[in-house]
Amino acid sequence: MSKIGFIGLGIMGRPMAQHLIEGGHTLFIHTRSAPPAALLDAGAVRCDGAREVARQADIVITMLPDTPDVEAVLFGPNGVAEGLSPGKLVIDMSSIAPLATKDFAKRINDLGCDYLDAPVSGGDVGAKAASLTIMVGGPARAFETARPIFALMGKNITLVGENGDGQTTKVANQIIVALTIEAVGEALLFAAKAGADPARVRQALMGGFAASRILEVHGQRMIERNFAPGFRIALHQKDLSLALAGARSLGLSLPNTATCQELFNAASAAGGAAWDHSGMVRVLEMLAHHEIAPAAG
């Protein structure tokens, strides 16, 4: 069993860390707020900072909101880099900028350690069920070391390529997710406005070519008016910002990605930055002056 450090214990990180403990690993944890009591009760060791996590663990996992957060935890004062010794492995499972990831990997490699970028998809449901999709960039030897650890948190685990390629894959994933949320929202809104029962429409569509995980999970959220996060709109805005910035640098036009970002922007302006990203549908409803289903209660 390995000594694993885990930094970032939010909606996603907390259940992921729990699975590692249940898999028999010794876990050293650090988070900005108080560490979850359930992890401590299960045997996790609380550390005062990221440097201490890196000193104690052989493998350090970060699961943080954005690129600056990862950089601060890795290379800031009392950061991971200060506690590393040659031969250790750093795995960033956050969703951050691919170009910055390449730089972070080089800086960690210069310390004699390996680096994997391994962002995930599946939301809090996948994190709790240990069914996440994990998209990995980095050296094959490090991937093979980490594979049994990834298997405790996810099901579809793929080494995509070199450092940065995992993050590029996650950006592509977030483009698809955003556009599909928008499509499901439009479809159910159309059905409701036309007088059909959106719940039955969704049930029928789940048996056809339009079936998707988003229609299944987020379509149900839209009908039930359940917009508690899951995955916050503010985080999906961040991911689409990465997509659009990357598109500009590559000379690409991503028109529908830009439209989805504007819908997220409108949701955030309406006070919905902390809604689940399925809450994009509320902006479509505002434009239509019609809701898919009445508010609960």
- For the annotated catalytic residues, the residue numbers are 170
Report DSSP state, residue 207.
T
SS3 category, 17? helix
Nearest to 80 by CA among 57, 50, 60, 100: 50
The residue assigned the tokens 């560490």 is 35
Nearest to 225 by CA among 254, 256, 199: 199
DSSP string, 90-148: EEE-S---HHHHHHHHHHHHTTT-EEEE--EESHHHHHHHT-EEEEEES-HHHHHHHHH
CA distances to 22, 135, 143 from 149, in Å: 11, 14, 10
